[in-house]
Amino acid sequence: MCGIVGIVSHSPVNQGIYDALTVLQHRGQDAAGIMTDDRGTLATRKDNGLVRDVFRTRHMRRLRGNIGIGHVRYPTSGWSSAAEAQPFYVNSPYGICLAHNGNLTNTEELKTQLIQKDRRHLNTGSDTEVLLNVFADELQRQNGDRLLPGAVFAAVEGVHNRCSGGYAVVTMIIGHGIVAFRDPHGIRPVCIGSRTTSSGVEHMVASESVALDVLGFELVRDIRPGEAVYIESDGTLHSQQCGPAKGYTPCIFEYVYFARPDSIIDKISVYKSRLRMGERLADKILREHPDHDIDVVIPIPDSSRTSALQVAHHLGVKYREGFIKNRYIGRTFIMPGQEQRRRSVRQKLNAIGLEFGDKNVLLVDDSIVRGTTSRQIIEMAREAGARKVYFASASPAVRFPNVYGIDMPAAHEFVASGRSDTEVGEYIGADWLVYQDLEDLFLSVQYDNSEIADFDASCFSGDYVTADVTEQYLDDLERKRSDSAKKERKAQMRRLKNGQDELDEITPDSRAGAA
């Protein structure tokens, strides 16, 4: 999962993009990047790390221009190379910068086409670079001396015809403007906003509406599935449906976990969705445990707070904050490597013994993926003095990989894989466990937007909306995303670094002697 932003303004955009990326930091903590266009001159800064660490005053001063795009990244494959930080750039045609959120499901096929047929060079293993080159190739095919909106939209239609998967894209065409588009299923989110200044109307696109809010842009609407918007450098906005939409199935995990509660995605309030998740989860708890002896409901911070509050309200028991979170530790869900996740849980959370001592506690979390965090948190609750520890998940059991841009690992690494709900509860050490029903999750989210009849819920159901995900693809994905594969890649990076360090230590004289 990543965060994207693009701004076309009448004044410098470097600070605005920086602020927007800071607000979108929850979507990716591995790398950050900004590219700006200063009347045809490209400026760029990107590297591994948090937004606040990647950009210093000296970098911001170089990021001149009234047009720019930005990105925060987390790696779905676990490869944290700075070379794969976004945005990416290709110099022909025009000079194109591109950042994207999501994952292509036909990357290998596209790589073969680009290299063998289109004679384009790929320098990384990132599907973002693939997407950039497909868009560049399609734009190169358009005729005309000037870059007209029709040519841009034809290029985007070509991208939709060639690419499969979930993607939200922002591109900057040097000297011309910004293009943003969304996959034909609408899996990954992207919205557009505007604001009026004394110099005229300015436009912004972003993964979540909260990024618009902090910069004073008004949310205009979400970009529709298969649609593209082209904002010229003078602020003129064009939009067009680039081929037929194949559905309207946004990723439901955005509402469960990834998005900020103060965001509006596809006309749906994330906050209200989580309130309703809590209500329906409480109803299920009452059905399965009508004579419960819960003394207090405690959320696992942060994304489960809203749901937990409603669970407590509907159960008629106290709601308490029982865990204090260290804000300087990254989200364990998006940390590559099981050992790193395991070590970080106790660094991230600390229990308040007063809220647990001699009580029957219901812990509420947004989801359970590997079970590592849940198991350790339950241990912490018991160590803090809880008599009994119950556990409730605001979403159903995760049993299938997500292939559209969320780093959910190989299926065998899911705690629910091959286990019943009762067995999962026993594994994580809960006295009992309740999962949200998938139907109730759907009803909780779609309530605000009747236009959306379905969601991408593949990690819960195993149904992939692009209809091109085969067993072979999932097997290949498992080899790339499993913790063992990530561990090997990290070891490979260390070997490469150590080899370079050894090379650097060789003096010119010793090199000559060796020759």
Q: Which residues are part of the catalytic machinery?
A: 2
Q: 366 and 395 in contact (C-beta within 8 Å)? A: yes
What is the distance between the alpha carbons of residues 80 and 191, in angstroms, rounded to a whole number? Answer: 27
Which tokens sit at 343?
């070590």
What is the distance between the alpha carbons of residues 340 and 212, in angstroms, rounded to a whole number? Answer: 33
The most distant pair of C-alpha atoms in the chain lies apart, rounded to whole Å, by 83
Which tokens sit at 69?
């795009």
What is the distance between the alpha carbons of residues 245 and 236, in angstroms, rounded to a whole number? Answer: 25
Vertex 341: Cα angle to 338 and 346 (nearest 5): 140
Q: 101 and 188 in contact (C-beta within 8 Å)? A: yes
Q: For 441, which DSSP code?
A: H
**Helices marked H in 31-126 — which ranges?**
51-54, 57-62, 107-112
Q: DSSP 3-state assignment of 146?
A: coil
What's the distance, Cα to Cα, between the start and end of the chain in Å?
Answer: 48
Rounded to whole angstroms, what are the CA distances from 16 to 100, 132, 168, 310, 432?
Answer: 19, 24, 20, 35, 47
Q: DSSP 3-state assignment of 260?
A: coil
What is the distance between the alpha carbons of residues 25 and 30, in angstroms, rounded to a whole number? Answer: 10
What is the distance between the alpha carbons of residues 112 and 277, in angstroms, rounded to a whole number? Answer: 44
Angular region, 300: left φ>0, alpha ψ -120 to 50, beta rest = beta
- 335-360: burial string, b at 16+ Cβ within 10 Å, e else: bbebeebbebbeebbebeeebbeebb
Which tokens sit at 453?
């009849």
What is the distance between the alpha carbons of residues 299 and 377, in angstroms, rounded to a whole number? Answer: 11
